[in-house]
Structure 1
Amino acid sequence: MIPAVIAAATLLTACGGGADAATPDAPDAKVSVTPAGGSKAVKLGSGISVKADRGKLTSVEVKDDDGAEVGGRLAADGSSWKSDGKVKPKTTYTVRTKAKSAEGKETSATSTFTTEQADKVNKLTNNPGGGQTVGTGMPVSITFDNHVDKDRRAEIEKALKVTSQPKVEGAWGWVRDWGGKDRIDWRPKDYWPAGTKVSVKGALSGINSGEGGWFARDYNFGFTVGADHKAVIDVPSHTLTMYENGKNVGSVTGSAGSPQDPTRGGVHTVRSKNAAETMDSSTIGHGDEWMLDSKWVTHLTASGTFLHSAPWNKSVGVENNSHGCFGMTTSDAKKVYDFLTIGSTVEVKGTTNTNKTDVGNGLEVWQETWPQWQQRSALK
């Protein structure tokens, strides 16, 4: 971890201002900026601060080399200003200040400094994407490109904020993604109300993730929760029932997993969909037993629990004989595919599979109770 080192403050010289005519020899307000102006390799992990002596600050503007303004807080008495976040890698900052001395003399000044390059930059991938409309079971899921050290998680979690209209209670939880990467998900305590507007902000710029590197930017995205569409699979009766706003809107029959490969139970979240796909036995540990083309494939777990057409299965609706998926006729699979959106939930009841599906095996946040989920927070 690179230690936070703050460069020495520098005294700014006035580049303009109106002197009080009655007190032409009155001293200027003494304004200092940290990191020091002119610095070429400011250490990462520090904030930006401005201090005024013999007067007060009346204005502080800080921008990076892209022209983006850096947020901060000016003290009520005008004695100091501090940035909300930390400096980001390989960036030049310009600090413009205005101050007024105790005698009323106004001055302005400009200071610039540049930060050092990070050895490694960590990025993230957010799901859902910005502007997407999703189902009522959709979590906010953020996967990091590089490893996040456990002792860095609390600071990162504090920098991530979820707000919604209407307001919904929820919590962050750290997850190991099925692909092996570090992930943090935010799930509501209960399902989202239909129509909820969600905003996610990550003030990550300048935060150290450990050996995985530094974050070089902030993140801001939002999404909308759509209609309340859910499905329930009753394994013994070979039936999938669709519900809209809690009302039964139709059922289809199918074949769930056999006694040897029973379908995973609990509440799953639709993670993706594919109109046409080749079902490859090797992806679920069955070697080269089959390679079959399927349509209207709705993905639940990352390990291969799907809803899909199974035109090769002559026992659809009669016998549970799949390798864990729920297979249907092509027309019924399309009905289900069209009805469920990314983020809709599918509950599997009556299965003999007692293994709990890992949260990272897809978007499986509903496999845990609310108290269990809260224990995943680094701030618990």
Structure 2
Amino acid sequence: MHAGPRRHHARLIPALIAGATLLTACGTGAGTSTAEQPAAKVTVTPAAGSKAAELGSRISVKADGGKLTSVAVKDGDGGDVTGKLAGGGASWTSDGKIRPKTTYTVRTKATSDGGRESARKSVFTTEAADKVNKLTNTPSNGQSVGTGMPVSILFDHHIATDRRAEIEKALKVTTQPHVQGSWGWVKDYGGQDRIDWRPKDSWPAGTKVSVKGALSGTNSGDDSGWFARDYNFGFTIGKDHKAVIDVPSHTLTMYENGKSVGSITGSAGSPQDPTRGGVHTVRSKNAAETMDSATIGHGDEWMLDSKWVTHLTASGTFLHSAPWNKSLGVVNNSHGCFGMSTADAKQVYDFLPIGSTVEVKGTSNTEHTDVGNGLEVWQETWPQWQQRSALK
């Protein structure tokens, strides 16, 4: 009596098993697990390997079959190398170029189109440079300077003409408040290449200035070498102190915020050696100095000790004490400088910070003072200065 039902169950069980098998097969066909998905292909350039990477390029990372979720790059000193993702994570490019003789470590994370996450580490070393170019910046970092001070960058080696535009683009000046200005290429009095940034007009007192040069890995010319680092410095504009020398009246007048705060008398250049005209920038100062005639083309005519020396041009236009001169305030008989009593020279020395301006009026000197003869950026009009830019 029970055989029939048992036979019925025997036939039903295989059918259920087959149905279960069919359902499982359908589920497997709909997709594979994340772990079985192929990882995104991540390519780092320069590639890892024993061959030194060629200079002049940026670090780039590319993801195929997915997107980058993280890129972290360290240089040989452990410093972070900044860069930017693009294309929704399809690529990453460093902000700056690779620098000479440096080992870089690139760590990436990526997610494939199928959702698989992967991580990778790549290490490469750059080739050494045959020659390294360096720079010296004026003002120095953290310095407080006068309202006429330019940013001045002096290079150790020549900058090739066809490299100047790229180098100028890598140099950024940021000011607070905003001040309009421009870079200009200059031949320094000592013969080296220089690039200066001057504001259109005098700096407002209290301006904060930041200068950054993303020069690492930049070639300055076939025979001039590569830059091996970036630069970052800043300075502050101090009080608005200026001076005006009126040659015919033998007078130097000091101004604060455009208002006269006192005048002193002295002696400017003689008719044979008239003081250079125009607006000069105080480039340096010495509390005591020996005046050597040979430095301004007068052989061994004199060797005199002077105090409170304020330097204008590199060729020797100074403000200084001249106690040996018995004609101060009466006759212009110097060799191009403006001489004063020791007490007056100290007053001027203390009043004029480095970077302040001294305008010379009424001189018979018609010789143009080259911009590189000191920090003489104010010898040119704003349109003239703008023509010195490689990006004009």
Per the shorter chain, which TM-score range? over 0.9
> How far off is 1:327 after superposition?
0.1
- Gap runs ≥5 in structure 1: 1-19
What is the correspondence of 1:24-103 to structure 2 with a 5 Å cutoff? 24-103=35-114
What is the correspondence of 1:212-361 to structure 2 with a 5 Å cutoff? 212-361=224-373
> How far off is 1:335 after superposition?
0.3
What is the correspondence of 1:168-187 to structure 2 with a 5 Å cutoff? 168-187=179-198
The one-letter code of the counterpart of 1:301 is: T
Q: How high is the TM-score relative to the length of structure 2?
A: 0.91
Partner residue, 1:162:
173
SS state at 2:58 partner = coil
Take 1:98 and 1:198, find their aligned partners in 2: how far apart are those partners? 38
Partner residue, 1:5:
none
> How far off is 1:39 after superposition?
4.0
Answer yes or no: is the 8 Å Cα contact 1:42–1:114 preserved in 2: yes
Partner residue, 2:387:
375
Take 2:81 and 2:187, find their aligned partners in 1: how far apart are those partners? 33
Take 2:111 and 2:159, find their aligned partners in 1: how far apart are those partners? 45
SS state at 1:65 partner = coil
Which of residues 102, 115, 125 is equivalent to 2:126? 115
- Gap runs ≥5 in structure 2: 1-30
SS state at 2:349 partner = helix
The one-letter code of the counterpart of 2:208 is: K
Answer yes or no: is 1:150 the counterpart of 2:177: no
The one-letter code of the counterpart of 1:104 is: G
The one-letter code of the counterpart of 1:247 is: K
Take 2:40 and 2:46, find their aligned partners in 1: how far apart are those partners? 19
Name which of structure 1's ranges 66-75 and 164-173 shifts more when overlaid on structure 2. 66-75
CA change 1:21–1:131 in 2 (3 A) is farther
Q: Deviations over 1:164-205 (max 9, x none)?
A: 000000000000000000000000000000000000000000
> How far off is 1:40 after superposition?
3.3
SS state at 2:364 partner = coil
Higher helix proportion: 2
Larger Rg: 2
Q: Deviations over 1:225-277 (max 9, x none)?
A: 00000000000000000000011000000000000000000000000000000
Q: Deviations over 1:114-162 (max 9, x none)?
A: 0000000000000000000000000000000111111100000000000
Take 2:319 and 2:279, find their aligned partners in 1: how far apart are those partners? 14
> How far off is 1:111 after superposition?
0.1
Answer yes or no: is the 8 Å Cα contact 1:230–1:243 preserved in 2: yes
SS state at 1:48 partner = strand
> How far off is 1:25 after superposition?
1.2
**Count of residue pairs the alignment pairs up:** 361
SS state at 1:126 partner = strand
> How far off is 1:21 after superposition?
8.8
Take 2:207 and 2:286, find their aligned partners in 1: how far apart are those partners? 26
SS state at 1:84 partner = strand
Partner residue, 1:17:
none
Partner residue, 2:20:
none
Take 1:116 and 1:24, find their aligned partners in 2: how far apart are those partners? 39
Take 2:51 and 2:239, find their aligned partners in 1: how far apart are those partners? 53
The one-letter code of the counterpart of 2:313 is: T
Identity fraction in percent:
81
Q: Deviations over 1:42-89 (max 9, x none)?
A: 111111100001100000011101011111110141100011111100
Q: Deviations over 1:336-374 (max 9, x none)?
A: 000000000000000000111000000000000000000
Answer yes or no: is the 8 Å Cα contact 1:38–1:111 preserved in 2: no
Take 1:195 and 1:66, find their aligned partners in 2: how far apart are those partners? 36
CA change 1:170–1:138 in 2 (3 A) is same
The one-letter code of the counterpart of 2:121 is: T
Q: How high is the TM-score relative to the length of structure 1?
A: 0.94
Take 2:182 and 2:88, find their aligned partners in 1: how far apart are those partners? 37
Extract structure 1 runs of 4+ deviating beyond 6 A: none
The one-letter code of the counterpart of 1:189 is: K
Partner residue, 1:188:
199
Q: CA RMSD in A?
A: 1.0
SS state at 1:371 partner = helix
CA change 1:70–1:298 in 2 (3 A) is same
